[in-house]
Chains A and B, each alone.
Chain A
């Protein structure tokens, strides 16, 4: 039941999909690599795309989004909600970024169902693309992921040279294949080429993270101030690692007011900023080591305690983009080893 598509036909495929969905594909038109609306012509991403700086999570939780507008008149206050979301299709999402969405789904579906995120989430189809050339900062394999396969997408594509092998993962994926042109039947050779490609890509992920008893080790090092001061001393408390992380989801809400009308927005926030926990009487994370400890423990200890999954998919953006080359895998590898009985 496997299909395949020639790379030369990808543009045409995206155009066809564009009739039913708003299609997003990797792009660097804006000056940084991100997912942008398919413009109908530039499929050069097939050559340069390894992974984007701005993860596709930005399609579900944008840099900033309007929650509602309001204005006041003689009758009182009126609220205007944003228009309903279009159906979207993200073409080329990597397994790490797809897993990340599954990880943050748990937060947005917890005691409160977040309508802004969930509305977009259910209206977005994911067409995954397996890696061929992971970065040296990638460490997805240590977190139980594969760089080439994913159960978190609707369709999974594997690069077999001049073509992509296509496998449906969900019912939505099956439906999508049924109505798509440009597909051919895949042969046994194609399938073995795909297996070989997967093997090669996985072997290129060399960075490792030991997750055995990680939560326990973090718990027992929690009060080791010397350790945390040492690992945090070069952090500059900017927001790069958190704002670009596909499994981070913290947001701030602000109002923009102009006389009697305005809008309420939500935008990204970061626990790395000192003001994140600032309150009138005190700031419990005034010192930098507390904030760094919080970030590490939240992702590898507290989140698994609440949702049984580590809030990290090994995409490596935090390592690649940090201005001072702070490295989470090094920090975790240097945890004092004692485990509380």
Chain B
């Protein structure tokens, strides 16, 4: 199916879900007010669904909104989003019956920062960006530049293990098989692992010196649904609300440990950060540790027990005296 046909099918399905009162809300992507951006569309109105789009800029993880909306929700989900939804169902945070998952098989989302770096211009100065198979064509100043798509997809898309949702109610297009490239997606992390302990700590100290504690990383994350986050505790106060690097760093370390087994590597934390801190280098590491130590992958099996509620009789003992 072409993109246009898929979009039309999506709009028709969404409209019929609302008209038949199978759902109260439709949550999907609409065109943003900036070029090459989409914005979440959350609506009860069947006429609004004509704004739904499918394009290579749908980076947001819409599962975030499931823990806020009351009622039944028809949600547009890429593969990674569907894993977040499954993870929420495993946690008993969202009831499966209340969600209609409209699956969108995904070929990967384009990272605007990577395009900006390669083109040498910011996104508002670029005329057009289109994906043509395994190439991306960037039109700028009257000329065209072809870039292999692997150079401009998000790192987490390069490692994608589930482009097509496994758990869904409707699938809008033909399934796409997974072709993960671990090596390419791990490039930043591998660089870090080459540093000594001391150098690594200094690296993170430097990165977190510019954190402004906007909490965008926490708030975009579907798995961060605590009503009261540990940073808001005053008695005892775990970390200061002042954005000192020590407390910024501890915030992120603890956030990642608390999310172990629920983070699906959607990459939203890194994309949302306004000061370019490489947050995925933390969340992907935790994701990999969970896989190595406990052979667990978040959001893959809807009936699986959440990571920390399960245990094997013998495991992970090597450093216990």
Contacts and interface: CB of A to CB of B under 8 A. Distances in A.
Q: Chain A binding site: helix, strand, loop or mixed by DSSP?
A: loop
A38 interface: no
> Which of B41, B60, B124 has the most chain A CB atoms inside 10 A of its CB?
B124
Contact of B243 (A32, A63, A319): A63
Interface stretch (B78-86, B131-139, B267-275): B267-275
Contacts of A275: 232
A238 B272 contact: yes
B242 A323 contact: no
Contact of B274 (A53, A136, A137): A53
A203 interface: no
A222 interface: no
Contacts of A294: none
A110 B283 CA distance: 45
A18 interface: no
A240 B207 CA distance: 18
Interface string A124-166: 0000000001011100000000000000000000000000000
Contact of B240 (A30, A63, A234, A254): A254
Given A323-B272, A325-B34, A240 B42 contact: no
A320 interface: yes
Given A236-B219, A275-B232, A330 B274 contact: no
> Which of A50, A136, A252 has the most chain B CB atoms inside 10 A of its CB?
A136
A237 B219 contact: yes
A38 to B, nearest CB: 18
B212 A30 contact: no
Nearest to B229: A275
A64 B209 CA distance: 11
Given A64-B242, A240-B274, A324-B39, A31 B210 contact: yes
Contacts of B39: 234, 324-327
B233 to A, nearest CB: 11
Contacts of B215: 238-239, 273
Q: Chain B binding site: helix, strand, loop or mixed by DSSP?
A: loop
A136 B212 contact: no
Contacts of B240: 254, 256, 265
Contacts of A252: 241
B124 A324 contact: no
Contacts of A267: 213, 241-243
Interface string B116-139: 000000101100000000000000
Nearest to B38: A325
A113 interface: no
Contact of B209 (A30, A288, A330): A30
Contacts of B2: none
Interface string A250-274: 0010101000000001011010010
Interface residues of B, number: 41
Interface string B171-186: 0000000000000000
Interface in A196-247: 233-234, 236-240, 243-244
B277 A239 contact: no
Contacts of B209: 30
Interface in A3-57: 30-32, 34, 50, 53-54
A321 interface: yes
Interface string B205-220: 0010110111110111
B60 A320 contact: no
Interface string A266-307: 011010010100000000000010000000000000000000
A34 B212 CA distance: 13
Interface in B245-279: 268, 271-272, 274-277
A137 B64 CA distance: 26
Contacts of B33: 319, 325, 327, 329-330
Contacts of B34: 136-137, 319-320, 325, 327
Given A31-B277, A32-B210, A324-B39, A236 B64 contact: yes
Given A64-B242, A252-B241, A327-B33, A137 B124 contact: yes
A233 B30 CA distance: 14
Contacts of B212: 54, 63, 239, 243-244, 268
B241 A136 contact: no
Contacts of A50: 122
Nearest to A267: B242
Contacts of B32: 325, 327
A339 to B, nearest CB: 25
Contacts of A320: 34
Nearest to A270: B214
A327 B268 CA distance: 19
Contacts of A273: 215
B37 interface: yes
B276 A64 contact: no
Contacts of B275: 31-32, 53-54
Closest 10 CB pairs of A and B: A323-B272, A325-B32, A238-B216, A239-B214, A325-B39, A136-B124, A32-B275, A327-B33, A236-B219, A234-B40
16 contacts: A31-B276, A54-B212, A63-B243, A133-B125, A135-B124, A233-B42, A234-B41, A238-B218, A240-B214, A243-B214, A267-B241, A273-B215, A324-B39, A324-B60, A325-B32, A327-B34
Interface of A: 30-32, 34, 50, 53-54, 63-64, 133, 135-137, 233-234, 236-240, 243-244, 252, 254, 256, 265, 267-268, 270, 273, 275, 288, 319-321, 323-327, 329-330
Interface of B: 32-35, 37-42, 60, 64-65, 68, 122, 124-125, 207, 209-210, 212-216, 218-220, 232, 240-244, 268, 271-272, 274-277
